[in-house]
Amino acid sequence: MSGTSAPGLASAAHAYGHPFAGRRAVIVTKRGKERVLDPLLRLRLGMYSEILQIEAKPQSSQLDALRGKLRAGAEATPYDSVIVASVGRGALEMVGFYDPRRGIEIIGRALAPASHEFSGDLAIDRRALISAACDDAIAQARLMVPSESPAKHERPPHAGVR
């Protein structure tokens, strides 16, 4: 088992079906989103997570802000980990995963529907958006994992051929 695998989760990649299962995640945060991200990473992704509190430089766009956090986390982390960060503005939440070793970046997005009635509790509403953005990232990551037993594509026999 490599130094970046979480104990007991070495075989989780097959069970969870994504490239980060069993890996160590560093959550880059400054605003308490680790309380939402940490259980999601552990339970849904099978990742062991640590918290790194970094204030990234302000950016003009939400995507640039997220990528800035991911880069800052990668630069501040001395070991090989998947960097995870979240940025939310208004009805849009983005959760980013960056694996500097493999050069993989996945950005999950969640947008509250226009008809969505906010509960009035910002923490509950933000938690739902972060969870949905993680689900989007999980779906994207699963597309990256090759099937263990690819389907055999055989040509069907032509009609009338014996």
Residue 21 burial (CB count, 10 A): 22
Give whole-number Cα distances, 160 to 74, 149, 153, 156, 157, in Å: 61, 32, 21, 12, 9
pLDDT band at 123 (very low <50, low <70, confident <90, very high): low
User: What percent of the chain is modeled with pLDDT above 70?
Assistant: 70
pLDDT tens digits for range 68-87: 999 999 988 877 788 999 99
* 128 closest CA partner among 88, 160, 73, 72: 88
Rounded distance between C-alpha atoms, residue 107 and residue 39, angstroms: 19
> Which residues neighbour 40 within 8 Å (Cβ) at sequence distance 6 or greater?
130, 131, 134
pLDDT tens digits for range 7-58: 444 344 445 556 777 888 999 987 788 888 888 888 888 888 888 888 777 7
Name the least confident of 85-94, 141-150, 152-161.
Answer: 152-161
* 127 closest CA partner among 74, 157, 88, 156: 88
pLDDT tens digits for range 80-121: 788 999 998 878 999 999 988 888 899 999 988 765 565 555
Task: Report the CATH fold assignment for 12-144.
Answer: Maf protein (3.90.950)
